Chain A
Amino acid sequence: MAEVSEMSEPTAGALEREAERDDNRTRWLLSLPAMIIIVLAAAGPLLVMVVYSFLTPGDYGNVKWEFSTQAWVNTILQRDIFDDTLMWADAHLSIFWRSLSLSLITTVMAFAFGLPTAWFIATQPPGKREFWLFLVTVPFWSNLLVRTIAIQELIRAEGVINNLLLLLGIIDEPLQMMFTNFAIAFGMTYVYLPLMVLPIYAAVDKLDFRLVEAAHDLYASRWRTFWRVILPLIKPGIIAGSILVFIPSLGAYVTPRVLGGGKNLMFGNLIELQFGQGRNWPLGAALSLMLMAAVMVSLIWYVRVTSRERSDV
């Protein structure tokens, strides 16, 4: 394709530019189906949200078609309920911070468990690999709600884990795991694990083990090999997995609520509240657009960092 012609002659000729244009067009055509679907059924309708964020909340939900920037202001500034002083919308900020930390912890935990799992699967003999992969995703064919309730059964005061620990004499009294941050992190990691495992698996599967062999031949220890050879080679998989875990978990609210007791709102809850009983659709729209902007920036950074210029291959 175009790469071959690019590598051969450095002269900037008309032929080359034409080949490049052809190549660009092919790439655009290939991306078109995905883009059309998303524009029609995801990104496009969001324009509605952009418009709504500049309107006034309707009396009973929905919007009144009157221009207002109140929603955007209210994402970070609010008037105190009782004395009307202007202040930071600390509720929004603390809720966002909570969701952010939780997502980070979940991503790290998913990585800690997901990397060995993906490695294990990918280093199985070829026929068996798909079987193990399938084994990883099967639990997720069951419904989220039922799974979460089942997790509760594990971590309750008289649940399976506590009973086991008591039986083995490791502890004297049941550990309080329900409704703790540990429970939330555990539950979220559980939910998002395959999202981390699958991309890393795809990367490890293609890992050229001769490079690893070479490192060992040069007397590198296993740890050193892992750190300096393996990790950089499977980095795209790790990053893809982290994105797939981190970003959706920012908007998560079912699992944190069920396992953490729901006393504290997650960012997804906050937004949902605006579209529900809060009856403030413009604020909900503004809050989520801010979230989206923050995430978009980090994703664009990802593209820049991971895509190497192919001309230096």
Chain B
Amino acid sequence: MKKLFAAASVLALSTTGVWAQELQIYNWGNYTNPKLIEKFEAETGIKVTITDYDSNDTALAKVKAGGHGFDIVVPSNSYIPIWVGEGLLMETRPDQMPNFKNVKAEFVDVDWDPGRHYTVPWQWGSTGVVVNTKYYDGDINTSAMFLDPPEELRGKINVVPEMGDVMSLSIMYYGGEPCTNDKEVLKKVRDGLVAAKQHWLGMDYGNLEKFAKEDLWAGVNWNGSTFRMRLQNENVNYGYPKEGFPLWMDSVAVLADAKNVEEAKTFQNFVMDPENAALISEFARYANGINGSEPFMPDDMKTAPEIVIPAELVEKGVFTPTCDPETQKLYTRIWTDLQK
């Protein structure tokens, strides 16, 4: 009798328990503000679990293989056409959700998700150059900072090993378009990179300390990361290469085989709210794509040169497209040659 009662109560509790609904988010590591999740859980009663990935390729491979258990994923723009093409995303029509009106005009109709049928903006940023202006006082808004560095900076340069971003920057420096397979341009790119490499000290992530402590004086880096460096060392400045620089945007998508569809849609709507978008930005220090979030953003982000692109250079920012497989192979060969 006792056993029956115990079993029954366990059953009852598990079906009508406190957390009746749940959501499995698959996101970049250290990219989700815990305060955002707390707010979401408090407002909706949905329990959220976050699992991390560290690269678009890992995420793609894992989800494609199946049996993952995630509902939401946050891929970068250049990968989203791949996700859609492989049938991995659910067409949730965020453009018909209540909060959609808050999305900034320039991010509504984007190349990788026309009309926003699948994804919702999470954060966006740029990849450019970082220079410690104590050691160099010329114009820093150029990719020459790492491709043809001035005397003063040689030997103290770091280039983040992001093949896509570095290739885009280099191609645009040598006059091409991202994802080009013009062999003339690519030969210049390959030779230029290999020649420049001798002036580099390293090709690694995790450089905040090294720039702050001035082990490194220049390099390729993301804007948000450079922002954090500047907070530690005010001589560190971000440059937007005038030859062209890549923009990226991570967007929230629902997986085609998600189990908690309604909760996932709720989350997509939730992040389009200005206050919530500000929470997202405040954590990783990148801009978001939602109107009206400015009042809620931390003060230092409102005017930071890393976040607000100078008017004359806005045009030079290009969202990296998805390169076709043949071109991608070519780039990998060049990249391997560079690092051999």
Contacts and interface: CB of A to CB of B under 8 A. Distances in A.
Contact of A81 (B57, B61, B158, B333): B333
Contacts of A61: 57, 60-61, 64
Given A60-B86, A276-B58, A279-B332, A264 B339 contact: yes
A292 to B, nearest CB: 21
Interface stretch (A88-96, A165-173, A243-251): A88-96
Interface in B156-178: 158, 161, 163-164
Most chain B beta-carbon contacts within 10 A, residue among A81, A94, A156: A81
A163 interface: no
Contact of B204 (A261, A276, A277): A261
A145 B183 CA distance: 40
B82 A270 contact: no
Interface stretch (B12-20, B194-202, B260-268, B308-316): B194-202
Scoring A57, A61, A277, A280 by chain B CB atoms within 10 A of each residue's CB, the highest score goes to A277
A95 B213 CA distance: 31
Contacts, number: 96
A278 B332 contact: yes
Contacts of B183: 82
Contacts of A269: 339
Interface residues of A, number: 37
A61 B82 CA distance: 10
Interface residues of B, number: 40
B201 A261 contact: yes
Interface of B: 55, 57-58, 60-61, 64, 82, 85-86, 158, 161, 163-164, 183, 186-187, 190, 197, 200-204, 206, 209, 213, 215, 324-325, 328-330, 332-337, 339-340
30 contacts: A57-B329, A59-B324, A60-B60, A61-B57, A62-B61, A62-B64, A81-B190, A81-B333, A81-B337, A91-B337, A95-B340, A149-B206, A157-B215, A179-B201, A258-B206, A261-B202, A262-B161, A262-B202, A262-B203, A263-B197, A265-B339, A273-B335, A276-B57, A276-B58, A277-B57, A277-B335, A278-B336, A279-B57, A279-B328, A279-B329
Closest 6 CB pairs of A and B: A261-B202, A91-B340, A278-B332, A262-B204, A262-B203, A265-B339
